[in-house]
């Protein structure tokens, strides 16, 4: 896996620019190798820290490409009024978030179903903490479309939420885990060898992802341009397809090895990261590039960008409602995928509001149906915040979409 990841680093550091198709292949394979390394390191790290914190660290590393691409786009927008009007930073951010839920979550469920034939994926009580913070962040982001910019005030609120989330995640005690494959080999090493090795693997994976993701995305965009696809759509869908691939691959590998709950945990944690830290850093990049600072100013939003944020927040609310009882059923996974996939083929601008309304309506329906489970999940989140990691989901197993 290290050997497969090295060409991505070498090409990036040497400034070599192969043909777009070859570049997409080389950098794509490098990202795939990093995903394998991350999954092994994450499992081994659970010997020393809590699963929640291990998954949070992996999620941060896995979403580095998204941060890198969006930071560059926000920086360009701050230095050019023409770039700011394109709204590419918001396009990439909303596309990445919607891909993560619309494709990543159903993929993990599909692998889980294929391996077990079970119609219900249950996550442990620690995920209630992520869902609680994701709920707060979603409620706050729903207010952003009411304004004409993402400001420094949003940065303070969202980044603070992320820091608090990491603090509570770090307090959960580590648990005994059963390792297999390369993770088992690393786990068999004594502490003085295992811990540095895990850190080295994590750092190497981060370097591979950070150096390979942007050129991989650029290669895909150039390939798309050959077919006359608009820049906004390429940045919104094709570039995030590259930058979101590490965490989806890590989650998929965990699901394939029988750890679907942990795989879903990676994606939920990634969503918390992107919905707080990613959005919160965009105004900073924009204002630093523009050479100005104000608590009330920031990355400007036009009508289309506000609609995109509202649609993404509505999808997030629906996804949270799906896991209100810490379970995902087959029909709910299918609904997440279909609602995402079908909107890709509708170019009418009114479709964004239609789909946002559909997500909102389904969210309300599921919350009403699962209303008895919400107190259980909230209590589980409170227990995790207090350091009580009692296992087991809420007793109810209601399927909202059945």
pLDDT single digits (tens) 195-232: 999 999 989 988 998 888 778 777 877 777 777 777 77
Asked if 272 contacts 58 with a C-beta cutoff of 8 angstroms, the reply is no
pLDDT of residue 389: 53
Pick from 178, 180, 162: which is nearest to 170 by CA? 162
- Determine contact, residues 382/336, Cβ cutoff 8 Å: no
Look at residue 391 and tell me if it is in a domain: no
Supply the pLDDT for residue 15: 86
Hey, which of 133-142, 163-172, 281-290 has the most confident mean pLDDT? 133-142
State the pLDDT at residue 204. Answer: 93
Weakest mean pLDDT among 58-62, 182-186, 332-336:
58-62
Which pLDDT score, from 0 to 100, does residue 331 have? 92
Mean pLDDT of the chain: 85
Q: Work out the average pLDDT over 96-113.
A: 94
Q: Look at residue 392 and tell me if it is in a domain.
A: no
**Is the separation of the CB atoms in 402 and 331 below 8 Å?**
yes
pLDDT tens, position by position, 116-132: 989 899 998 888 999 99
Q: Is residue 397 part of a domain?
A: no
What is each CA distance from 336 to 106, 236, 341, 355, 360, in whole angstroms? 7, 18, 9, 12, 13
pLDDT at 398 over 50: no
The range of the structural domain enclosing residue 297 comes to 2-385
SS3 assignment for 85-151: HHCHHHHHHHHHHHHHHHHHHHHHHHHHHHHHCCCEEECCCCHHHHHHHHHHHHHHHCCHHHCCEEE
* pLDDT digit string, tens, across residues 260-272: 888 898 899 889 9
Residue 220 located in a structural domain? yes
33-47, 294-308, 373-387: range with lowest mean pLDDT: 33-47
> Is there a domain that residue 394 lies in?
no
Q: Percent of the chain, pLDDT > 90?
A: 39
List the structure tokens of 322. Answer: 């799906």
Q: Is residue 395 part of a domain?
A: no
Residue closest to 212 by CA, chosen among 19, 396, 33, 21: 33
227 part of a folded domain: yes
Buried b (16+ CB within 10 A) or exposed e, 143-174: ebbeeebbbbebbebbbebbeebbebbeebeb
Question: Looking at the predicted structure, is the pLDDT value of residue 347 above 70?
Answer: no
The answer to whether residue 352 sits within a structural domain is yes
Q: Taking residues 278-298, what's their average pLDDT?
A: 85
Task: Please say whether the beta carbons of 63 and 278 come within 8 A.
Answer: yes
Identify whether the C-beta of residue 61 lies closer than 8 Å to the C-beta of residue 42: no
Kindly tell me if the per-residue pLDDT of 297 is higher than 90.
no
pTM over 0.95: no
Would you say residue 280 has pLDDT above 70? yes
Structural domain tally of the chain? 1
**What whole-number distance in Å separates Cα of residue 174 and Cα of residue 168?**
13
Higher pLDDT, 343 or 361: 361
Residues 321-340: tens digit of each pLDDT: 999 999 999 999 999 999 99
Question: In which band, very low, low, confident or very high, does the pLDDT at 396 lie, cut at 50, 70 and 90?
Answer: very low
CATH number at residue 380: 1.20.1420.30
397 confidence band (pLDDT: 50, 70, 90): very low
Cα distances (angstroms) measured from residue 170 to each of 49, 56, 244, 278, 384:
8, 9, 24, 20, 10
In whole angstroms, give the CA distance from residue 166 to residue 35.
Answer: 22
């Amino acid at each position: 896996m290290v050997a497969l990841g090295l060409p991505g680093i070498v090409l990036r550091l040497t400034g070599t620019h192969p043909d777009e198709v070859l570049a997409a292949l080389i950098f794509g394979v490098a990202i795939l190798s990093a995903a394998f390394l991350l999954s092994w390191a994450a499992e081994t790290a659970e010997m020393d820290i809590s699963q929640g914190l291990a998954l949070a660290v992996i999620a941060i590393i896995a979403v580095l490409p998204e941060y890198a691409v969006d930071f560059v786009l926000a920086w360009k927008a701050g230095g050019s009024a023409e770039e700011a009007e394109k709204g590419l930073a918001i396009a990439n951010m909303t596309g990445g978030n919607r891909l993560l839920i619309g494709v990543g979550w159903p993929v993990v469920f599909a692998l889980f179903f294929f391996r077990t034939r079970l119609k219900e994926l249950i996550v442990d009580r620690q995920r209630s903490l992520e869902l609680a913070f994701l709920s707060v962040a979603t409620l706050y982001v729903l207010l952003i479309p009411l304004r004409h910019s993402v400001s420094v005030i949003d940065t303070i609120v969202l980044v603070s939420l992320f820091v608090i989330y990491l603090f509570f995640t770090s307090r959960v005690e580590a648990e005994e885990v059963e390792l297999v494959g390369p993770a088992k080999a690393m786990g068999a090493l004594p502490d003085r060898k295992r811990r540095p090795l895990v850190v080295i693997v994590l750092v190497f994976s981060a370097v591979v992802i950070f150096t390979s993701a942007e050129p991989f995305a650029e290669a895909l965009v150039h390939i798309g341009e050959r077919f006359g696809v608009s820049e906004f759509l390429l940045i919104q869908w094709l570039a995030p397809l590259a930058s979101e691939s590490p965490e989806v691959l890590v989650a998929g590998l965990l699901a394939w090895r029988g750890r679907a709950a942990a795989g879903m945990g990676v994606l939920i944690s990634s969503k918390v990261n992107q919905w707080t830290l990613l959005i919160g850093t965009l105004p900073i990049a924009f204002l630093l590039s523009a050479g100005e600072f104000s608590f009330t100013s920031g990355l400007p939003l036009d009508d289309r960008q506000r609609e995109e944020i509202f649609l993404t927040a509505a999808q997030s609310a629906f996804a949270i409602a799906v896991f209100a009882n810490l379970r995902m059923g087959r029909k709910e996974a299918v609904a997440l995928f279909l609602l995402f996939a079908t909107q890709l083929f509708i170019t009418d601008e009114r479709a964004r509001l239609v789909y946002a309304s559909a997500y909102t309506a389904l969210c309300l329906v599921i919350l009403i149906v699962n209303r008895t489970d919400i107190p259980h999940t909230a209590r589980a989140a409170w227990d995790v915040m207090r350091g009580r990691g009692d296992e087991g989901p809420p007793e109810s197993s209601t399927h909202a979409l059945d």
